[in-house]
Amino acid sequence: MKHTIIGTVVTGMVAAFATSAIAATEIQWWHAMGGANGERVDKIAADFNASQSDYKIVPVNKGNYTETMTAAIAAFRAHEQPAIVQVFEVGTATMMGAKGAIYPVDKLMSDMGEPFDKSDYLPAVISYYQMPDGQLLSMPFNSSTPVLWYNADALAAAGADVPKSWDDVKSASEKLLANGMKCGFSFGWQSWVMVENYSAWHNISMGTKENGFAGFDTELTFNNDAVEGRLQAIADMQKDGLFKYGGRRGDSLPLFTSGECGMWMNSSAYYGSIKKQAEFKFGQTMLPLDTGVASAPQNSIIGGATLWVLAGKSEAEYKGTAKFLNYLSSPEVQAWWHQETGYVPITTAAYELSKSQGFYDSNPGTDTAIAQLSLNTPTPASRGIRFGNFVQIRDIINEEMEALWAGDKTAKEAMDASVERGNALLRKFERSVK
């Protein structure tokens, strides 16, 4: 009996030590995806974990984009940072300025011996996150661009064509209201859509130094006649009910999906939500052109986020992180993510796979975002923006635009104030990185 008990105990101890020795290395992934997209992130992590036994990706939602980045910065200072954190595109300059805090993806892949070819990625996506020498700082994940969503049933009933220009948007809105609709159009993420992308779409710089790409000593210049003229025209349309402001981020989505507004400008990544919520036939088309400003569109710029690898973790965690990032970028995973969410596929292979699967044929318009981003070779004015403290600057622009919609300021006053207040934050950021 004694020998049996001792043998059982020893066997159990050996098994416990063996299990401990081969336990998967846990890798924390902090992200900002909520709702259905949060569930999709969980699925990607679970599928990767099931594909091998050495590493376990642990996805943790940390709130919205701003909250996630703030949490990661605080965690790094406390030496409790995750290996991977999702940061939205306007946090790029801030992450770049965090000396010693990041592990560039290029270097990670090389150090860990993982195959990695940057030519596999869509140029419009990857160029935003590269240094002048081509080094890639973070891994593209959920990239999107704003499009014009429209209620196809409502436009048809009102006898209005799908808009191609801002004049068309106004005309279609008038017809929608005449046919009984309460509102012509709305938009969300207003700084991103109506200042940042409006500028790129019309090949207008938002700031000096190639929109911040060529140096942190940049200044904002979006208080120009084109931007101010378009915003003032929209404010004037509000008086007639043609335009209705519905809040920041995606707060105005219900205005569209409920059938109150016939058109909505916001991210292509709302495809999943609109498909689930709208009880009418809908479509998406390219952003409208301001024909008094440009004769043809240039290209839109991306939003969404990338995955940054933070310094201070173990080699085992980095090895698993590199393998996971390669898995995340595989054609199958990216095609699935793209088709489920409306985010653009980050690689050419994922786009071609979606095409061969007939996704664009059965879902017309879902390649609009890709077409917009790839319309022309990006110029210094349309490549994107890389301004320090731009998370806070966006809040300033939002405040000033809301003053415009409330009738408290003109577009010129709002944009002049945005630039003055924003430039003060740029100088503060420049001093901090020096």
Contact 235, 176 (CB under 8 A): no
Q: Which residues are CB-contacts of 344 (< 8 A; sequence separation ≥ 6)? A: 122, 125, 143, 144, 145, 268, 302, 338, 351, 369, 370, 373
- 404 inside domain: yes
- 16 inside domain: yes
Cross-strand partners of 30:
60, 85
Query: In the predicted model, is pLDDT for residue 20 greater than 80?
Result: no
- 325 inside domain: yes
Per-residue pLDDT tens over the stretch 198-234: 999 999 999 999 999 999 999 999 999 999 999 999 9
Q: How many domains does the chain have?
A: 2
> Residue 84 is part of a domain; what is its CATH number?
3.40.190.10
- 102 inside domain: yes
Query: In the predicted model, is pLDDT for residue 355 greater than 60?
Result: yes
How many Cα atoms within 13 Å fall on the side-chain side of residue 227?
A: 31
Q: Can you tell me whether residue 368 is helix, strand or coil?
A: helix
- 116 inside domain: yes
Task: Assess whether 6 and 123 both reside in one domain.
Answer: yes
Task: Assess whether 180 and 54 both reside in one domain.
Answer: no
Quickly state the pLDDT bin for 7 (edges 50, 70, 90): low
Quickly state the pLDDT bin for 3 (edges 50, 70, 90): low
Task: Assess whether 219 and 348 both reside in one domain.
Answer: no
- 371 inside domain: no
Q: Which residues are CB-contacts of 162 (< 8 A; sequence separation ≥ 6)? A: 150, 152, 155, 172, 283, 285
Q: What's the pLDDT score for residue 93?
A: 86
Task: Assess whether 8 and 113 both reside in one domain.
Answer: yes
Report d(CA 354, CA 24) in Å as an integer.
33
Task: Assess whether 283 and 316 both reside in one domain.
Answer: no
Per-residue pLDDT tens over the stretch 108-131: 999 999 999 998 998 888 888 888
Task: Assess whether 109 and 191 both reside in one domain.
Answer: no
Contact 322, 112 (CB under 8 A): yes
Q: What's the pLDDT score for residue 14?
A: 46
Task: Assess whether 160 and 291 both reside in one domain.
Answer: yes
- 356 inside domain: yes
Quickly state the pLDDT bin for 98 (edges 50, 70, 90): confident
The one-character DSSP state at 207 is B
- 375 inside domain: no
Residue 206 phi/psi, 5° resolution?
-95, -15
Task: Assess whether 157 and 256 both reside in one domain.
Answer: yes
Left if phi > 0, otherwise alpha if psi is -120 to 50, otherwise beta: which for 102? beta
Q: With DSSP H G I counted as helix, E B as strand and the rest as coil, what are the percentages for the chain, rounded to 5?
A: 50, 15, 35
Task: Assess whether 233 and 356 both reside in one domain.
Answer: no
Q: How far is CA 373 from the centre of its chain?
A: 13
Domain range for 68 is 2-144+303-361
Query: In the predicted model, is pLDDT for residue 283 greater than 90?
Result: yes
The average pLDDT across 266-281 equals: 95
Task: Assess whether 271 and 354 both reside in one domain.
Answer: no
- Mean pLDDT, rounded, of the chain: 93
Percent of the chain residues topping a pLDDT of 90: 85
Quickly state the pLDDT bin for 22 (edges 50, 70, 90): low
Task: Assess whether 417 and 270 both reside in one domain.
Answer: yes
The average pLDDT across 288-311 equals: 96
The average pLDDT across 177-195 equals: 97
Task: Assess whether 42 and 65 both reside in one domain.
Answer: yes
Q: What's the pLDDT score for residue 67?
A: 95
